[in-house]
Amino acid sequence: MSFLEVIIKILVILLVFSALAGFGTYLDRKFLGLIQKRLGPTHVGPWGLLQVLADGIKLFLKEDILPQNSNMIIFRLAPIIAVATAFIAMAPIPFLPEFEIFGKTIRPIVSDINVGILFVLSVSAVGMYGPLLAGMSSGSKYSLIGAARAVSQLLSFEVVSGLSILAPIMIVGSLSLIDINNYQSQSIFDWLIFSQPIAFVLFLIAGYAETNRTPFDLLEHEAEIVSGYITEYSGLKWGIFFIGEYANMFTLSFIVSIIFFGGFNPIGFVPGGIAILLKVAFFIFLFIWVRATLPHIRPDQLMSLCWKVLMPIAIINILITGFIII
């Protein structure tokens, strides 16, 4: 793969998923309105589609406030770390099967490394420094408390996501997302969801907590007076955090589709490229559906769920999988 090809792929990923992150806010508001029997965006453009453009213009033009007692350099750096790690984690993800353009074979993956899933989990974990530095540099006790709560939540559920994914890896025998996809290529019954349903549920719950989605959206709790670690942020910096959040949603949707639901393998007469896009679209809708349906939980309930319920179940699932393989 040439250097120019890698650069082009990186630019395509940045442009596509930045646009999808903005469009994700529209889908969030539209589906939440439909599910909860109220209006979503309706007035700006047909079906409210131009609301995304209006929100983007508003964020660009809003005053960029820097708190007086903040650490200016780290305060500016924190949102960049949050969004950069979200996009870097996409590097080993095969978004679509190979296809040809003008006789040239295109592989829709930036880097097919043999530890792909480990790379995704590691880079996602580094993204924790975004909320941490944002809260610490703001010069606000509310932001600092929010950062402490964010880090405790992210660290806890990183353990669950790492343990839950071990069982499918033991079955496949590889950390490469390409290998995991190919393992499920024979038929729909080879999908790992059938042999590892517990790992799927645990990984999905941990993913919801790490992407700050309801009912686990305690990093910046919209129902509270202050907004956690981003209390002091405004304008474009505030928006960058949310671009990272929605980018992580798409990353999680692709990862779950590849590991547990056959990836980009064709389903009957449905081509592989369309199949994986349909799977990802379903999981994005599931994100919104859960947000519209379930109530928030308290931080102590979240930690109890993680350490007292999910982690023991993940360890037991690993042990059972190991005994079956042996």
Judge if the upstream peptide bond of residue 92 is cis by omega within 30 degrees of 0. Answer: no
Q: Which of 16-25, 44-53, 222-231 is predicted least confidently?
A: 222-231
The answer to whether the beta carbons of residues 125 and 286 sit under 8 Å apart is no
Q: pTM for the whole thing?
A: 0.92
Buried (b) or exposed (e) across 41-55, using 16+ Cβ within 10 A?
beeeeeebeebbeeb
Average pLDDT over residues 198-214: 90
Give the model's pLDDT for residue 122.
92
- For 38-97, the pLDDT digits (tens) are 888 888 888 888 888 888 888 888 888 888 888 989 999 999 999 999 999 999 999 988
pLDDT of amino acid 1: 62
d(C-alpha 216, C-alpha 214), whole Å: 5
Task: Report which of residues 3 and 261 the model is more confident about.
Answer: 261
Determine the pLDDT at residue 222: 64
Separation CA 57–CA 80 (nearest Å): 19
SS3 106: strand
CA-wise closest residue to 248 among 106, 134, 142, 125 = 125
The helix/strand/coil state of 99 is: strand
Q: Where are the alpha helices (DSSP H) in 36-71?
A: 51-61
Cβ proximity of 92 and 112 under 8 Å: yes
pLDDT tier, 223 (very low <50, low <70, confident <90, very high otherwise): low
Rounded CA-CA distance 76/26 in Å is 27
Q: How confident is the model at residue 199 (pLDDT cuts 50, 70, 90)?
A: very high
